[in-house]
Each structure stands twice: as C-alpha cells, then as structure tokens.
C-alpha cells in the first residue's frame, strides 16, 4: 500500500512561529562565503553522491556484503555541518554515516575499502559501512544501534566543557531514533548539566518502513519534544545549503558560547531504502513521492541552480567537478578491490589498547580465549 | 600496617586518583551530595567539588553513554552503578559502545572508563537487585572484569583499573564493604590478570572470586581442623584478563579442583574455569572438577532460603569431601 503522506519540505511549525521565508543567502553565516567555498560545498555533495552510487554498484554485483544505508538525497546536511565546524567541534552520527565521513575529510579510498571489508579500510575492515571513525577529524562515528550514539554525543559535549574548550558536539540521529528512551535521558542531562550539545534530527520521513505519522504520537515537529526538557529547539529545511547553514550555524554558535543544548530538526529525504536490503522502499511510499523530491528538492540540483544564478560557476565547470567525483569514486572502488583482506591474525588486534601496545597491563593474564 | 574497611580502601583509591589526575571524575546516582548510596564516595564531593564528583539523574543508559563519550575524548570517568543490576538498562552503552568501539574503529579509539558498583546477592532484596553479571560481561572481548575480595585488593585493583586504557567493569560487594583488612598507606597498584593464592595447601584447589574467596578460606579452616585436608585457595581477582597460569599451577600441585562461585552455574565463570581445566589440566587431575555455585534460580527473597541459594563454607566442605 503506497503511502499518501505528503512530507514536509519546510518545517510545519517552528519555535518562533515565524512564517515568512527569510533570504538565507544573506544570513551572516552565508553572506561572507567566498565563491571557492560555495563551489567546495558542491564538490563535497557530488563526491558523497558519486561515492555511494559507486558503492551501490558493487553492493548489487555482490562485491560487498553488510548493510549499505545510503545518504543520497541528504548530502546537504552533512556538508553544511562540516562547513560550520570550527576545529574544536565534535560530531557523531548513526549508521547512515558515509556522508558525514566524507564531509569531514575522510578519504574515499579508506571508506570504500571499509565497505569491501579490506585491511586498508578506515577501520581495517573491522567496522563496515555503519562504523566509520576519524577522531583526528573530530568524527566519532558511525554507530549501528539506533539512538545509541546520542549519549556518546552527550559525553563529547561533557568533555569539551570539562576541558574548557570552546567547541560544541553535534549528535545526529534520524526521526525514528527520537523514540529511543536514551534520547530523552540525554536531553534531560544535557539541559541539567548545561552542556554544548546540538542534537540534529535528520528527519527523512521514515524509520525504515514506518512513516513519521505511524511512529510518533506528537504531531508536527519532533524537535518540539525538547520543550519537555527545557531544551531550545527549532526546525529548518535541509535541502537548501544556505538555509541549513544559517540555522545550524546559529545553534552551534549558541552551544559554544552559552554552553546550552539545542535540538534542530532538519527536513530531508532519502531516495533509496532504509538500507539497500530494504525491499519495500517503494511500497511504504509512492514512487511519485520519491520522484517529486528528486525533481524539486534535490540538494545538489538546488545548489547548482543557486550557484549558476549567482554566476559563481558555469555548467561546464559543474560537469567537470562531477566528472572528477565520478572518477575519484571509481578509483576508490579499484583501490578497494585491489586491497588485501585483513590477515587472520588481525582478528585479535584492536580489542584492548593495553594489549595492542604491549604494556605491562596488556601482558598480564589471558585476554583472549580462542584456540 | 593500617587496618581499614573495603569501603575505605575504595574511597582512598578514588581520593588518590582524583588528586593525581585531573582527567579522573566520579559520576553516578547519589555519589556526590548524598555521599554515596553505600558511602563509598563519602566526603569526596566536599573535597573535590562539583566538577570532579557528579550526581546524575536516574538515567543509567545516558550517564554510561556520557562516560563512553568523555572517555573517547581522553577523560577517565569512574561511573558508579548503585547496583550492577541497574546496568541492565544501559547494557547497549556498555557492550555495544564501551566494548566494541575500539574494535570497530580499527584501534583508532579507546575507552578508558571504570564502571563500578556492587554486584552480589545475599542481601534480601530479591532477584532484580541481586545480579552478578561478571560472566556475561567477561563474554564481551573489549571489556575487562574485576572482582576484588579484600580491602587490599580492592584498592590496588581500583587504582590499576582507573589507570587502565580500556574499559574495566569493577564489581564490588555490599556484604564486603564493612570488612576490615590491612592496607598500606599511599598509592599502589595490583595488575589485572594476576590471581592471588590466598592460602597455600597441597590437597585440593579451591578456585573463586569475590566474596566466594572468603567462603573458601572459611571452608579451608574447617577442612584442616576437622578433616586433615589442606586446601589451597586461589583468588582470581580479575575474570578477564584471567590468570590461567596460577590456576593451572595450583591444580598441578593439588590434583583436585573445586570451583566456588556466587555466579550462576550455567555458562558462569566456573564453567569457564572448568573448561580450562578440562583442556589443560586433564592429566593432573585425580578427581573430576566439582563446583559449588549459586543455585540456578532467580535470587529468592526469603532470607533463610536466600542463604541456602549461595555457596557457604559447609557446602564447600561437603563438596571437597565428596572428591576424596
């Protein structure tokens, strides 16, 4: 049964009650953007999309297993967020993590190789699609259990405040994860301890095959639940990079300077299923719905049009960037295919820090119990 | 040497580590202003202040997760569970996050956190407050599990656990908090993964951890006085890493092993030790490996029956005698 649900492309309601659409390009987080930065955002979104399409090709031909939760359609959210990080901000997300990983600067090769389960993968083939990490880039994963990463984000924010660092922690979750109890616990503790935690709900309308209307008793905004914990909240569209940057930039700044949490709900949409294994991706929603989003709300198309209208870039230049992204993704797949699998001995590595470093604590007693 | 309680020994370990390393902080329900539900953290909030000793709401999953996130960033959280039984609402954070993140990140991240609190039955509070999860937490590669029996071990193992760069599940015992023992002044460490022979003997090895060690020591006195049997008592001290060498050396000497365990028998810690002996000590044994464990039912409330459910010295004596 196809869903007749009409998903929001703009917030249904906002904390301020404002109804007029501002000129987001003139917002203070956007007005000073240089053409090269704007083109860089386009490049990053295209890289994510071409990376995932390349991954999908190899998933479908059986070259890799696991789950593959594609981010295609939502690229603006990760790219916009990464563009706002100040060097002290930390981010963490759930299992739909490829976009965030590439946006913070992880390489296509290491990410693709991880999908293939290769030793050259970012987690040495031990994590897979859902578990990309780059602590040197302030990126703390990549977490497979719905909602389980949100209190870790609380801990990142706690550590920032404890150390006196002027940064914020941004914890992403989906619309379905909002229903996990630990998210409510986290909201309460973030408010109670006055921690610089920004919770970003990437609301793509469906928790796997269950639409928002069938998973949340609260009508309208999911972010509004924050009111119950005295946490500020707001909503925005996630399709237009300017809008996303203006809204997220303001709440990240507030978190850094005032040590206050905030919940931002971002309207977005995924074109593919929950994962590639989601056989009903066109049954719990209509094909027409998917096509409407692709036609009218694709973040890459919108951004291309925007940059063309600003005369920041030419169509030819866009095509060249896209060709580069495709070539980079294809090369990453080649790299992954040619890379070796982890050695059997590596099964027992990267479990205990003390064992890996052969400290005294790592040498005393038996840590592993296989033959 | 000063004689102090198990509770005081833990308290002193925290005070010394809080003073030594500014990255160490204590967190949990009632640990600060209330002075700890079992008074283990008494006075530490007053001494170290709000930043270092932190009361939490009743939200185990969130504050365990907070600990993991803070530890990933280089802090050293010591997170108290009022009872280890309450960990069960936060197991996702302990097992999936603290236990697996290092592996899933290919070694990029480590989680230097201590999760601590009492894990014992025998206190007349029913099944939900009497769990002993050392067996199934030790079943998660990535986690370490420590169960001290004496004040001396409690302090030295706690300091080691706080300084350890992996997550340590530290399991105390409310029935031991008031026990007295000799503890040297000042800081010292006991390595995880080193068992301690608490009593030497030639006739049978009693192998235990936590409070069951004391049960074994009492049984050993009875065996010596009434039956002329000299039992060796091996205190595992840590379940993972496990000191197999000390266990095997003891059994090679005595040729008999009785495993005493307040954990349940099915897939319990004693099951692992029995497997070890079957695999590596078969030729040393003059008798089958025997076990005295908690009776395999949820912890019963009724006090007289609860006492029957846990191993006591007489049950250990009877089991040892059946081995000869």
Question: Is the pLDDT at A286 greater than 50, yes or no?
Answer: yes
Question: Residues of B with CB below 8 A from A151's CB?
Answer: 61-66, 68-69, 93
Number of domain units in chain A: 2
**Residue of chain B minimizing CA distance to A356:** B107
Residue of B nearest to A144 (CA): B96
Confidence grade of residue A13 (pLDDT, cut at 50, 70, 90): low
Ramachandran region, residue A17 (left: φ > 0; alpha: ψ -120 to 50; beta: rest): left
d(CA A273, CA A112): 20
- The two beta strands, A232-237 and A262-267, are parallel
Q: Which residues of B are tagged catalytic?
A: 60, 129
At residue A198 the predicted structure's pLDDT band, cuts being 50, 70 and 90, is very high
A347 and A264 in a single domain? The answer is no
Cα(B54)–Cα(B153) distance, integer angstroms: 26
| Residues A59 and A134 placed together within one structural domain of the fold | yes
- Residues of chain B with confidence (pLDDT) below 50: none
Spatial separation of the C-alpha atoms in residues A260 and A194, rounded to whole Å: 5
**What distance separates the 2 farthest-apart alpha carbons in chain B?**
58
Chain mean pLDDT for chain A: 93
pTM of the model: 0.96
- The pLDDT, as a whole number, for residue B122 is 94
> Is A2 within the bounds of a domain?
no
Q: What is the pLDDT of residue A4?
A: 33
- Residues A316 and A371 occupy one common structural domain: no
Tell me: do B35 and B158 sit in the same domain. Answer: yes
CA distances (Å), origin B301, targets A89, B123, B308: 50, 9, 11
| DSSP conformation letters of A67-124 | -----TT-HHHHHHHHHH--SS-EEE--S--HHHHHHTT--HHHHHHHHTT-TTSTTT
Kindly state whether residue A293 falls inside one of the protein's structural domains: no
Residue in chain A nearest B99 by alpha carbon: A351
Q: In which region does residue B11 sit, left (phi positive, over 0), alpha (psi from -120 to 50) or beta (all else)? A: alpha
CA atoms within 13 A on the CB side of A196: 26
Residue B89 belongs to a domain:
yes
Show which of B156, B182, B208 is a domain's final residue: B182
Residue holding tokens 């800081």?
Answer: B187
The answer to the question of residue B37 being in a domain is yes
> For residues A32-69, b (16+ Cβ closer than 10 Å) or e, as one string?
ebeeeebbebbbbbbbbbbbbebbeebbeeeebebbbb
Shortest CA gap B275–chain A (Å) = 11
B178 and B241 both lie in a single domain: no
Give residue A5's pLDDT: 35
Query: Is the complex ipTM more than 0.90?
Result: yes
Parallel/antiparallel/unpaired status of strands A262-267 and B204-208? unpaired
Closest partner residue to B107 (CB to CB) among A154, A356, A360 is A356
- Give the span between the Cα atoms of B110 and B93, in whole angstroms: 14
- Residues in chain A within 8 Å Cβ distance of B64: 151
Tell whether A332 and A345 lie within a shared domain: no
Compare CB distances from A158 to B70, B105, B272 and report the shortest one's residue.
B70
For residues A32 and A121, state if they share a domain: yes
**Residue A226 shares a structural domain with residue A356:** no
Give the domain extent around B125. Answer: 3-182
Q: State residue A7's pLDDT score.
A: 53
User: Which CATH number do you get for residue A146?
Assistant: 3.40.50.970
Work out whether strand B290-293 and strand B180-182 pair parallel, antiparallel, or are unpaired. unpaired
B190 within a domain of the structure (yes/no): no
Closest Cβ opposite residue B106 in set A126, A160, A185 = A126
Q: What is the CATH number of the domain that holds B263?
A: 3.40.50.920
Residue A113 lies in a domain: yes
B112 and B23 in one domain? yes
Does B188 map to a domain? Answer: no
Across the range A341-370, mean pLDDT stands at: 96
What does the alpha-carbon distance between residue B236 and residue B241 come to, in Å, rounded to a whole number? Answer: 10
Does one domain contain both A42 and A126? Answer: yes
Considering only alpha carbons, which residue of chain A is nearest residue B51? A162
Binary contact (A353, B165; C-beta < 8 A): yes
Sequence-distant (6+) residues with CB within 8 A of A243 are A24, A236, A237
Whether the CA torsion A114, A119, A124, A127 is positive or negative: it is: positive
B106 contact residues in A (CB cutoff 8 A): 121-127, 133, 350
Of A162-176, A276-290, A327-341, which gets the smallest average pLDDT?
A276-290
Number of domains chain B is built from: 2
Is B154 found in the same domain as B216? no
Asked if residue A87 is part of any domain, the answer here is yes
| CB pair distance less than 8 Å for B69 and A151 | yes
Pick from B84, B101, B240: nearest CA to B164: B240
* Domain contains A194: yes
Residue with tokens 């092993």: B257
Q: How does DSSP assign B252-292, residue by residue?
A: HHHS-EEEEESS-STT-HHHHHHHHHHHHSGGG-SS--EEE
Q: Do A366 and B193 touch (CB under 8 A)?
A: yes
Does B161 lie at the interface with A, CB-CB under 8 angstroms?
no
The span from the CA of A263 to the CA of A145, in Å, is: 20
Contact A187, A180 (CB under 8 A): no
Is A296 a domain residue? Answer: no
Q: B187 in a domain, yes or no?
A: no
Domain boundary pick from B123, B158, B182: B182
Q: What are phi and psi for residue B223, nearest 5 degrees? A: -60, -40
pLDDT of residue A18: 56
Map residue B55 onto helix, strand or coil: strand
B109 and B18 together in one domain: yes
**Residues B145 and B9 occupy one common structural domain:** yes
Predicted confidence band of residue A1 (pLDDT cuts 50, 70, 90): very low
The DSSP element (H or E) to which B182 belongs, if any, is strand B180-182
End-to-end CA distance of chain B: 40
Tell me the C-alpha distance between B141 and A352, whole Å.
8
Tell me, what's the pLDDT at B99?
98
Q: What distance in Å separates the CA atoms of residue A206 and residue B162, rounded to the nearest whole number?
A: 43
DSSP A228-264: GGT-EEEEEESSSHHHHHHHHHHHHHHHHHH---EEE
| Residue A171 CA to its chain's centroid (Å) | 9
Q: What single string gives the DSSP state of each residue in B189-221?
A: ---TT--EEEE--SSEEEEE-THHHHHHHHHHH
Tell me, yes or no, whether A244 and A366 share the same domain: no
Q: Choose the final residue of a domain: B140, B160, B182.
A: B182
Q: Answer yes or no: do B206 and B164 share one domain.
A: no
Q: What residues of A are in contact with residue B164 (Cβ under 8 Å)? A: 354, 361
A270 in the same domain as A173: yes
| Residue of A156, A159, A349 lying closest to B107 (CB–CB) | A349
A33 and A155 both lie in a single domain = yes
Quote the Cα angle for A106-A111-A113, to 5°: 145
The answer to whether A282 and A290 are in contact (CB under 8 A) is: yes
* Chain A CB within 8 Å of residue B241 CB: yes
Whose tokens are 């409070």? That residue is B211
Q: Are A205 and A176 in contact (CB under 8 A)?
A: no
Nearest CA in chain A to B142: A351
Residues A270 and A357 in one domain: no
- Chain A interface test: which of B29, B64, B66, B238 (most A C-beta within 10 Å): B66
**Residues in B touching A364 (Cβ below 8 Å):** 191-194, 241, 243
B56 lies within 8 A of chain A by CB = yes
Q: Do residue A250 and residue A348 come from a single domain? A: no
Confidence band for A282, pLDDT divided at 50, 70 and 90: confident
- Partner A contacted by B106 (CB < 8 A): yes
Q: What is the pLDDT of residues A94-138, one digit of tens each?
A: 999 999 999 999 999 999 999 999 999 999 999 999 999 999 999
Whether A3 shows a pLDDT value over 80: the answer reads no
CATH number of the domain residue B79 falls in: 3.40.50.970
> Quick one: which H or E segment has residue A151?
helix A150-163
Tell me how many residue pairs between chain A and chain B have CB atoms under 8 A apart: 186
Q: Dihedral through CA A120, CA A125, CA A129, CA A135, nearest 10?
A: -70
Report the C-alpha gap between A151 and B62 in whole angstroms.
5
Q: Which residues contact A311 (CB under 8 A, 6 or more apart)?
A: none
Q: Please state the φ and ψ torsions of residue B169, each to the nearest 5 degrees.
A: -90, 110
Give per-residue pLDDT as tens, B282-320.
Answer: 999 999 999 999 999 999 999 999 999 999 999 999 999
Tokens 């290092």 correspond to B102
Q: Which domain holds residue A112?
A: 27-207+221-278+312-339
């Amino acid at each position: 049964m196809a869903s007749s649900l009409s998903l929001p492309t703009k917030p249904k309601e906002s904390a301020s009650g404002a109804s007029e659409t501002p000129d987001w390009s003139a917002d203070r987080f956007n007005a000073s953007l240089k053409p090269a930065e704007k083109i860089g955002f386009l490049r990053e979104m295209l890289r994510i999309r071409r990376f995932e399409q390349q991954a999908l090709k190899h998933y479908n031909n059986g070259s890799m297993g696991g789950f593959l939760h594609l981010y295609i359609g939502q690229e603006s959210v990760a790219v916009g967020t990464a563009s706002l990080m100040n060097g002290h901000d930390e981010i963490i997300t759930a299992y739909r993590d490829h976009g965030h990983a590439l946006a913070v600067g992880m390489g296509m090769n290491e990410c693709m190789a991880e999908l293939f389960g290769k030793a050259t993968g970012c987690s040495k083939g031990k994590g897979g699609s859902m578990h990309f990490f780059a602590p040197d880039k302030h990126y703390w994963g990549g977490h497979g259990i719905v909602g389980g990463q949100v209190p870790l984000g609380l801990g990142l924010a706690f550590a920032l405040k404890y150390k006196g660092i002027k940064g914020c922690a941004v914890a992403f979750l989906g619309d379905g994860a909002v229903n996990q109890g630990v998210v409510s616990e986290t909201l309460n503790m973030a408010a109670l301890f006055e921690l610089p935690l920004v919770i970003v709900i990437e609301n793509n309308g469906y928790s796997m095959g269950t639409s928002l209307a069938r998973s949340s008793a609260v009508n309208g905004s999911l972010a509004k639940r924050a009111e119950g914990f005295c946490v500020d909240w707001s909503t925005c569209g996630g399709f237009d990079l300017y809008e996303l940057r203006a809204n997220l930039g303001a709440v990240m700044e507030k978190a850094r300077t005032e040590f206050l949490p905030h919940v931002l709900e971002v309207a977005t949409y995924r074109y593919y299923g929950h994962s590639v294994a989601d056989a009903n991706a066109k049954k719990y929603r209509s094909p027409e719905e998917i096509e409407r989003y692709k036609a009218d709300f694709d973040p890459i198309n919108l951004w291309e049009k925007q940059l063309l209208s600003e005369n920041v870039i030419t169509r030819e230049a866009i095509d060249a960037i896209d060709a580069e992204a495709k070539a980079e993704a294809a090369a990453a797949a080649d790299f992954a295919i040619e890379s070796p699998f982890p050695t059997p001995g590596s099964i027992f590595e990267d479990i205990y820090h003390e064992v890996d470093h052969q400290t005294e604590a790592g040498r005393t007693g038996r840590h592993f119990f296989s033959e | 040497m000063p004689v102090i309680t198990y509770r005081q020994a833990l308290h002193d370990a925290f005070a010394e580590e809080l003073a030594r390393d500014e990255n160490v902080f204590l967190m949990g329900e009632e640990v600060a202003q209330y002075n700890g539900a079992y008074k283990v953290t008494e006075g530490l909030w007053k001494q170290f202040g709000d930043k270092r000793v932190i009361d939490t709401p009743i939200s185990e999953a969130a504050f365990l997760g907070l600990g993991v996130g803070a530890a990933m960033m280089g802090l050293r959280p010591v997170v108290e569970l009022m009872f280890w039984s309450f960990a069960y609402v936060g197991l996702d954070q302990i097992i999936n996050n603290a236990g697996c993140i290092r592996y899933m990140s290919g070694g990029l991240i480590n989680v230097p956190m201590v999760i601590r609190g009492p894990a014992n039955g025998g206190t007349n509070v029913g099944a939900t407050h009497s769990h002993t999860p050392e067996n199934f937490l030790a079943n998660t590669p990535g986690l370490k599990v420590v169960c001290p029996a004496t004040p001396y071990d409690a302090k030295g193992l706690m300091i080691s656990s706080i300084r350890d760069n992996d997550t340590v599940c530290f399991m105390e015992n409310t029935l031991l908090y008031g026990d007295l023992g000799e503890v040297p002044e000042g800081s010292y460490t006991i390595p995880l993964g080193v068992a301690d022979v608490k009593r030497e003997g030639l006739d049978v090895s009693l192998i235990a951890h936590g409070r069951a060690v004391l049960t074994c020591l009492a049984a050993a006195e009875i065996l010596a006085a009434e039956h002329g049997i000299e039992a060796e008592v091996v205190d595992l001290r840590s379940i993972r890493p496990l000191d197999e060498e000390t266990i095997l050396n003891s059994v090679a000497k005595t040729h008999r092993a009785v495993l005493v365990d307040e954990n349940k028998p099915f897939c319990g810690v004693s099951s692992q030790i029995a497997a070890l002996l079957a695999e590596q000590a078969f030729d040393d044994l003059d008798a089958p490996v025997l076990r005295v464990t908690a009776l395999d039912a949820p912890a019963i409330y009724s006090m007289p029956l609860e006492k029957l459910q846990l191993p006591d010295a007489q049950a250990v004596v009877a089991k040892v005698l059946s081995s000869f």
